[in-house]
Amino acid sequence: MKILVISGPNLNLLGTREPHIYGTTTLAEIERDLAVVGAELGVQVECRQSNHEGAIIDMIQGAKGSVDGIVINAGAYSHTSLAIRDALAAVAIPYAEVHLSNIFAREPQRRHSTLAAGARALLCGFGAPGYTLALRGLVAALRA
């Protein structure tokens, strides 16, 4: 089984970006934890990050036929991008949406996700461990 993990805009700044909201764990540390959990679960995990909406869409489209699931934190694009939502719908790959902060406890414009309706699950508010929790949950759902 192969899982693609996509991190969107500004997530490359984790560890220093608004640590009171997003914590001090870096994206590299999250990706290392995902690799460890992937090995534990016997799944291959590929991690990618982009600040560009089109690049994220290309990642999703390129995953068709080569991955079994996607864990995605589209960052601010989660709240605005119908194009990313459409790409996820088009490839029909099961996905879990993850956010470091509780988006429903944030500013009004962050309390809606364009991706959530098509997601197998939405996990938010657990900080960096949310990525590995989403990975574990998605793999369990795919194996069920």
Query: How do residues 14-39 score in pLDDT, each as one tens digit?
Result: 999 999 999 999 999 999 999 999 99
Q: At 104, is the pLDDT very low, low, confident or very high (cuts 50, 70, 90)?
A: confident
Report the first-to-last Cα separation within the chain, whole angstroms: 13
Q: How many domains does the chain divide into?
A: 1
CATH number at residue 117: 3.40.50.9100
Q: Which domain holds residue 76?
A: 2-143
pLDDT of 92: 98
β partners of residue 3: 45, 69
pLDDT of 112: 82
Strands (E), 2-144: 2-7, 44-49, 69-73, 95-99, 121-124
Report how far residue 123's alpha carbon sits from residue 11's, in angstroms, rounded to the nearest whole number: 16
Is pLDDT of 109 > 90?
no
Q: Model pTM greater than 0.85?
A: yes
pLDDT of 49: 98
Residue 102: in which H helix or E strand, if any? none
Annotated catalytic residues are 22, 99
Phi (first) and psi of residue 84, to 5 degrees: -70, -40
Query: How do residues 47-99 score in pLDDT, each as one tens digit?
Result: 999 999 999 999 999 999 999 999 999 999 999 999 999 999 999 999 999 99
